[in-house]
Amino acid sequence: MTGGASGIGASIADAFRREGAKVAVLDIHLPEVSVRGEDIWYRECDIASEAAVEGSFDAVQAQLGPVDVLVHCAAKLGVSAPFHEVTAEAWNSYIDINLTGSFLASRAAASRMVANGTPGRIVLIGSVNSFASERNAAPYASSKGGVRLLTRSAAIDLARYGITVNMIAPGPIVTPPLEDKFASPELTQIFDRVLPGGKPGRPADIASTALFLALPESAFITGADIVVDGGMLAQILN
């Protein structure tokens, strides 16, 4: 998987490990050895670099065997600036990492699945911003909206090979570094307004969804957007 060194990605990687999967984590920032997941193979990778992605997938197959599941979680997060102040550099950074990175990782996984003649699962991590934007988020929302259509396009082309491609769209998720911020009175008020249950989710909510999409029981689900947001979109888009 990509982006599995911290946050939601680390939770997903650990969930797959606990189920007995051979897990490789590709991330531009690797964790210290002392906090790395047990029985997880790590490799540094710039997901926006075609050469780095292809080299990393070759290394994964050499180390662990054929790739049959990809969970792509690597992303650049956050707001940038009002639309009229967004620089081309900022725009390109979000597109390169979030959209082009999703394409490169998915293509690398899919091409190897096809070459190996093995059915596979590709799970892309999108966002509620794949469906709706917010202030100062044009680059991020545009990149994540692109991931949504990339998912559908790839699903159509790869279905004949037994490869499913789906997107998980998380809503607000509390990761350990953000617990204090998410507990602030300001964000608590926002969550009360936009989340029907009033509380954000946990990384395990995303990890369990990714696990399901990797199971044989999900074989007829492809090209789908799986929204895991506590009802946020149902409320704000109603």
Give catalytic residue positions.
140
Q: Are 31 and 20 in contact (CB under 8 A)?
A: no
**Side chain identity at residue 67, one-letter code:** V
- Measured CA to CA, the distance from residue 135 to residue 120 in angstroms comes to 37
The C-alpha angle with vertex 27 and arms to 152 and 144, in degrees rounded to 5, equals 30
For residue 179, give the amino acid letter.
E
Closest C-alpha to 232, from 208, 197, 188, 203 = 197
What whole-number distance in Å separates Cα of residue 49 and Cα of residue 101? 8
How far apart, in whole angstroms, are the C-alpha atoms of residue 9 and residue 16?
11
Handedness of CA 157, 146, 12, 188 (dihedral sign): negative
- 120 — phi, psi (to 5°)? -150, 175
